[in-house]
Chain A
Amino acid sequence: MMSRMKILGYYLSGLLLVTGLSLATGVRAVETTNATHFNVSYKSNVEPLPLNRIHSWVLHVATRDGKPVEKATISVYGGMPAHRHGLPTQPEVSEIGGGDYLVQGLKFSMMGKWEMWFNIRAGDVTDKVKFDIEF
């Protein structure tokens, strides 16, 4: 009986391994923000995030208690630290309203780990947010 349980354990481990590997394919986007003042999220106009294709995001900026942040000045930069290069494009940010900002001209041209940084200044408050993306 013990040995059967052991076999089942091995099988489940194998299954988990296979499942884990399948999760490693495709794109993963994780917010690892160290922002202290704002809650920031994004939505891409192409899902999942595309490789090698220009696309845009809508960035939503809110205060910690959920109120939309308007008239913010946002600059964007990013790249692949492991390969010591920046973004292949120069994206532009414009305000839509209601705490939403359009980020146009985004492109990820390589497989691997990317970082997307946004510097957000609203009134006297400045904050920085980072998204980790992996293809």
Chain B
Amino acid sequence: MRLSLISNTVWVLWFCCLSFATPTAADPGWSESELALLRMQWIGSLPELPPDPTNKYADNPVAAELGQKLFFDKRLSANGKVACASCHVPELSFTDGLARSKGVGETSRSAPSILGIAHSAWFFWDGRSDSLWSQALGPLESAVEHGGNRSQYARIVYRNPVYRKQYEQLFGALPDLSDSQRFPENAAPVEDEDAAVKWQRMSETDRKAITRVYVNIGKAIAAYERLLMPGVSRFDRYVETVLKEGAPETTLLSADELAGLRLFIGKAMCVTCHQGPLFTNNSFHNVGAPDLATKRPKYILPIFYLFIDKPELDTGRHKGVQQVLNSEFNCLNEYSDATENDCAELRFANKKQKETLGTFKVPTLRNITKTAPYMHEGQFKNLTELLKHYNAAPKAHVGHSELMPLNLEGKQLMQIEAFLHSLSSSPDVADELLRTPEY
């Protein structure tokens, strides 16, 4: 009797082992290590938003309220037609659907999604900013993005009673900008020669007063952007069910999506860089994306192309790390609220030219179906093209690629693509935060 009980127990346990290892459409039989990876990618594993010591207004609700208004305000541009939201469109997961984003001119990069961006230590494709607020300031003075200048923006806040009231509530009194001799309408260290000359003529105290307002505009925008987080996707609901119920009978993911997920965390090795609940390690890698700006057009013979003026090669982080180290707005600078101990990312940033050449920041894959075209210059129009690139792992145009050929079959690439569709979700944000606020 006792022997029979033991035998039955063994059978039951063995059956459990067998059922654990036999994949079916509803139960793909995840191993313990695969389950650990699924949990790691699950939105439920997203840690609490880390504090931003560089911005003491980062979690201030009034700052976020002001920041939202500024984010959607087209007056913050040279032609009154460009807002942050022009390239970071909420409906497109805060991208714009363009290979090269357009402001007052054309940029050289595709606007990345900013959902969940506050979890990153580096900003822009090349990490040339080390805080969210300093990132927000870059496009505002870029000649091809907003095209304006800090004096102009300070004056917008100064003249608008709603902005002024909220600004002064947060940051204290604005400087008196009524004297346009002391404070010209357009003055800043920008490409525009007239504005640059006027900026040089201002006293250092006045330049700092204007820059302080400009920085506070960035800090308010950052406070708003910190609220923008991705919501729960079908993938997350699937993982949650698996973690709670073991091997559920679920139709949350199709057989192809499940096969794609297994490849994503396995043979295709996507998870090595697209790791964590935001599907990015927020680090810099060279995946051998072609440099379209310097690529020879087919109609020009190679011999002639040698003599043509070409745009500067986009070296990514290689240039970005030098820019952030020299930035007037980096973590160690006077406009940052951080102490030196808070600036470890900047202090220990990899500055080795050979290792950073041609590396770009890994983007989030959440809502990837809404963020085409792909890569920093929109080099790939769709996911099919993108996955073919990863499968082939061509030699890098700049630096050396970290990819290795995956040798996946067409069907397997299609399955990964199917899986990526399961990462779509609405932002985990109240609707009123996704549009121009009324005021």
Tell me if A107 is interfacial: C-beta within 8 Å of chain B. Answer: yes
Give, as a whole number of angstroms, the nearest-CB distance from A77 to chain B. 10
Cβ-defined contact, A89 with B349, below 8 A? yes
Question: How many interface contacts (CB-CB < 8 Å) are there between A and B?
Answer: 85
Contacts of B294 in A (CB 8 A): none
CB proximity of B300 to chain A, nearest CB, Å: 33
User: In the complex, which of the residues B275, B276, B402 contacts A84, with contact meaning CB atoms closer than 8 Å?
Assistant: B402
A7-B350 in contact (CB<8A): no
A119: Cβ under 8 A from any B Cβ: no
Q: How far is the CB of B121 from chain A (nearest CB, A)?
A: 8
Q: Do residues A14 and B17 form an inter-chain contact, with CB atoms below 8 A?
A: yes
The residue that A87 contacts in the complex, of B32, B285, B350, with Cβ under 8 A, is: B350
Contact of B355 among A8, A86, A110, A111 (CB under 8 A): A86
B352 within 8 A of A: yes
8 Å CB contact of A4 from B7, B282, B286, B352: B7
Report A9-56 residues with CB < 8 Å from chain B CB. 10-11, 14-15, 18, 21-22, 24-26, 51-52, 54
Q: CB of A75 within 8 A of chain B? A: no
**In the docked arrangement, what's the CA distance between A98 and B355, Å?**
34
Which residues from A are CB-within-8-Å of B319?
none
Chain B positions 389-403 with a Cβ under 8 Å from a chain A Cβ: 400, 402
In the bound complex, CA of A10 to CA of B402 (Å)? 41
Write the nearest CB–CB distance from A125 to chain B, whole angstroms. Answer: 28
For chain B, residues 187 to 214, give those with C-beta under 8 angstroms from any C-beta of chain A: none
Q: Is the CB of B281 within 8 A of A52?
A: yes
Chain B residues 7 to 34 lying within 8 A of chain A, measured CB to CB, are: 7, 10-11, 13-14, 17-18, 20, 31-33
Contact A105 B10 (CB under 8 A): no
* CA gap between A8 and B6 in the complex, in Å: 10
Question: Which stretch, B165-173, B230-238, B340-348, touches the partner chain A?
Answer: B340-348
Given contacts A18-B17, A21-B31, A90-B350, contact A109 B10 (CB under 8 A): no
B339 within 8 A of A: no
Please list the residues of chain A having a beta carbon within 8 angstroms of any beta carbon in chain B: 4, 7-8, 10-11, 14-15, 18, 21-22, 24-26, 51-52, 54, 82-92, 104-105, 107, 109-112
| Subset of 5 A-B contacts with CB under 8 Å | A7-B14, A26-B36, A83-B402, A88-B350, A91-B348
User: Which residues of B are in contact with A by a Cβ distance under 8 Å?
Assistant: 3, 7, 10-11, 13-14, 17-18, 20, 31-33, 36, 271-273, 275-276, 281-286, 344-345, 347-352, 355, 400, 402, 404
